[in-house]
Structure 1
């Protein structure tokens, strides 16, 4: 697998990055299969640096906060109105209510909403989904809305993406033995952090240690959070290799 960080800004687009969006690619039937994981605000423009939008094969949405899904609206417009279109439907997996939320975000009638352009399906906790070469297993985590971490497997390699979550044993479970653990770290250690919302660098490092992952990538750090402190906290809690991601970063899994 190859992971490209399209956008990694936490909670809203930053001056150097769009909000959450990751491109995961792997060989499939003599070509490259392209899975977009989250498509937050500001990400659709950046995504076009790495892939023609017509070549996106599937989309996975971790949860329904705008910094993880809002540019689905632009993808809908592209697939419906591109010259020579509309394009064939592609699978999109997301939490309960995704199809309705997408329709509401663009001011569409609930029926058909965007379902003629996007084949919207609903995650079921722990139920694997096959998308081209990928097996994607969602795991409910701890966030104010229904939110999933995603375990993405292909050819014996494992990439786990935390989505957004507070500390939870479910995150360790879904990251168990992952080669690459792409984990949010929105807070620094402080006594007044809101509960059940996000992780600190320490939390991310501790989850990586407990799961026995090969490498930890820290993401979703808001502009207002000290990035160096987050990175230091993670290194103190996880002995393996770790780093903060940046938009445009590419990692082989």
Structure 2
């Protein structure tokens, strides 16, 4: 598998970093993992949006799904869609159809009539396992301030785990057990004084990675006003495996 970082800033874009968005490729399958603000452009640099096989949305905060509206416009308004294009599969929280359609409806009446079902095949997420072609996707609920999930994406024995937004929890450790790469929410240096059920710090991600026995840790979702070098230093101090900060355009072979 190959993981490409399209965007990695948390909560809001940074001056040179879109918010959360990644492209996962394996055996000819292309999966967009999150579509935060600013990532649809970098996505088009790497593949034709009509060639996506699925979209995964961990939750529906805008820094993870804002550019779904750009994808929607592209697929619905393109003057020459491929004859082979039917509907794009979207694995997302249960309220995704109405929430995402609201970006394109000018009134309540229009929203009632618009569910984007002609363009997307929405599959509500729940704990369990899904497949996209030969790629396996295991889903586990996380602890955030809204309905949110983490994903374990596997193919031919290789696995990467994306935490989405969460605080440390047993469900995440279990999902990440033995993973080759953990792409982890590391918003800031310290959790102290902040509301529960938001994000992890760099140190907390490294503790999860150590408990789960993952091979490599990549820190993402660092807030644009956070100390990126400090977040990295905290994680390196507590995890003995390779650790790096996600950067737009970076690729990882899993």
- TM interval, shorter chain, is over 0.9
Q: Residues 163-222 of structure 1, C-alpha deviation per residue, up to 9 Å, x if partnerless? A: 000121111111111000000100112521221110000100000000000000000001
> How is 1:165-180 mapped onto 2 (pairs within 5 angstroms)?
165-180=166-181
Residue 101 of structure 2: aligned partner: 103
Q: Give the Cα separation in 2 of the matches to 1:190 and 1:53.
A: 37
Aligned positions of 1:151-162 closer than 5 A: 151-162=152-163
Deviations 1:19-49 (A, max 9, x none): 100100011xxxx210000001111112112
Q: Which residue of 2 aligns with 1:212?
A: 213
Bigger shift: 34-43 or 45-54?
45-54
Q: Greater CA deviation, 107-116 or 1-10?
A: 107-116
Asked whether the 8 Å contact 2:232–2:244 carries over to 1, the reply is yes
Matched, 1:74 2:76: no
Q: Secondary structure at the match of 1:221?
A: coil
Deviation at 1:110, TM superposition (A): 3.7
TM-score in terms of structure 1 length: 0.95
Structure 2: gaps (5+ residues): none
Counterpart of 2:87 in structure 1 is 89
Q: Is the 8 A contact 1:62 1:148 kept in 2?
A: yes
Partners of 2:50 and 2:81 within 8 A in 1: no
CA distance in 1, matches of 2:131, 2:241: 30
* In structure 2, C-alpha distance between the alignment counterparts of 1:2 and 1:57, rounded to whole Å: 15
Counterpart Cα distance in 1 of 2:170 and 2:196: 15
Q: Kindly indicate whether the alpha-carbon contact (under 8 Å) linking 1:187 and 1:193 is maintained by their aligned counterparts in 2.
A: no
- Aligned residue for 1:14? 14
Q: Which runs of 4+ in 1 moved over 3 A?
A: none
Q: Is the 8 A contact 1:70 1:105 kept in 2?
A: no
TM-score by length of 2: 0.94
Superposition pairs of residues 26-105 of structure 1, within 5 angstroms = 26-27=26-27, 32-85=28-81, 87-105=85-103
CA positional deviation for 1:128:
0.3
The alpha carbon displacement at 1:55 in A equals: 1.4
Deviation at 1:18, TM superposition (A): 0.9
Q: Output the CA distance in 2 between the equivalents of 1:65 and 1:18.
A: 14
Name the structure 2 match of 1:2.
2
Maintained 8 Å contact 2:167/2:199? yes
In structure 2, how many angstroms separate the alpha carbons of the residues matched to 1:153 and 1:119? 22
Whole-angstrom CA distance in 2 between matches of 1:187 and 1:246: 16
Distance 2:192 2:134 in 1: 43
SS in 1 for 2:29: strand
How big is the shift at 1:130?
Answer: 0.5
* 1:109 partner SS: helix
Q: Which residue of 2 aligns with 1:118?
A: 120
How large is the RMSD of aligned CA atoms in angstroms?
1.2
Q: Aligned pair count?
A: 248
Contact 2:191 2:200 in 1 (8 A): no
